[in-house]
Amino acid sequence: MSLLEKWAKAIELRDEDTMNECLHDDYKFTLHSAGKILSKSEVIAWGMSGDINRKNVRILFENDEVGVEHAIVSFEDGNTQAVLAFCTFKEGKIFTLETGASNLPK
């Protein structure tokens, strides 16, 4: 199982231990839409909250250095986005994540 597959399954199952295994301790998620950078603990807390519901997750590319995936993500506030994510990897873990998101009609 690839790192991104493992991460996708951890988010789907709200598996905190696996989320911790997948993310580097110095992980940073650049959330351009909100102008924020989230840490490992913040992303895991968000993932565990149930607010992130992903479907049609597709890994577009992955090697030992980077990964790219696309998913349809819905949130508890009713918003749905098509999200393209670019990850860098370090020491076998997800090190950085940046997303581009397009809002989808409700």
Show the low-confidence residues of the chain (pLDDT under 50).
none
Please state which CATH number belongs to domain 3-104.
3.10.450.50
pLDDT at 33: 75
Q: How many C-beta atoms surround the C-beta of residue 68 within 10 A?
A: 14
pLDDT at 34: 80
CA dist list (Å): 59 to 76, 79, 90, 94, 105: 24, 22, 18, 14, 24
Residues 91, 24: contact at Cβ < 8 Å?
Answer: yes
pLDDT in tens, 42-64: 999 999 999 999 999 999 999 99
Listed by start position, the domains of the chain span 3-104
Q: Give the three-class secondary structure for 85.
A: strand
CA 66 – CA 11 distance, rounded (Å)? 19
pLDDT at 57: 96
CA 100 – CA 46 distance, rounded (Å)? 18
**Residue in the block written with tokens 């295994």:** 21
